[in-house]
Amino acid sequence: MHQNFILLLLILSFLSCQKKNKTEIVSRNDSNLLIGKSTEIDSLYPHDAVAFEFFNNARQLYNDEYYDSAVNEIKSSLQIEKGAQALNLAGLIYLKINKDSSIYYFEKAIEDVPSYYFAHNNLSMVLRMKGEFESSIESSTDGIGVARSSEDLWGLYLNRCITYTFNDEFDLAQSDLDSAKLLCPNPELLVEFENWFMYHSGKEGLKEVLN
């Protein structure tokens, strides 16, 4: 559940960028979410000790916003061992530098471990940032197809809901929002997001929390 609470924080950071424009930003908190915290995801970290050290260095530099230095470290890690977590982190780092390179690494992470739903989710977000909504929706759908628990699924539905909203597909967005609310262990966490959705779907204005 921890990773999904961070997912909500990330999604809300997207929504708080601008109140009236459907614009996205990336939060500094995204590395914790997008790399993943579950036991299954933990097994995808580099096994080689030196590769793991480079990986950790890259993650810390990424968190500290030293992206060029982070690129050097993650490249060193990948030269030793190419695994889903390192590829996914490379995608995150390049998201700050070059979105096309970011897409490349997220796709490579998925190619390495097709069930790595965090990478599907990340790919969906960067495609949405590029305005490629149909591809973003497809990636989210792929992530939903491989997620194994309700704790994983509700955040993925919420992410796809955002893309449907950006693409003015409000009925589909509402369906995904309803699914997220059913699966979320604490639906009260979604109140702020629901206000954002209702505003952009024309159903209601934003409540005070987003004013």
pLDDT in tens, 40-82: 555 677 888 999 999 999 999 999 999 999 999 999 999 999 8
Sign, CA dihedral 113-38-180-209, equals: negative
pTM for this one? 0.77
pLDDT at 205: 42
**Cα–Cα distance for residue pair 46/22, rounded to 1 Å:** 37
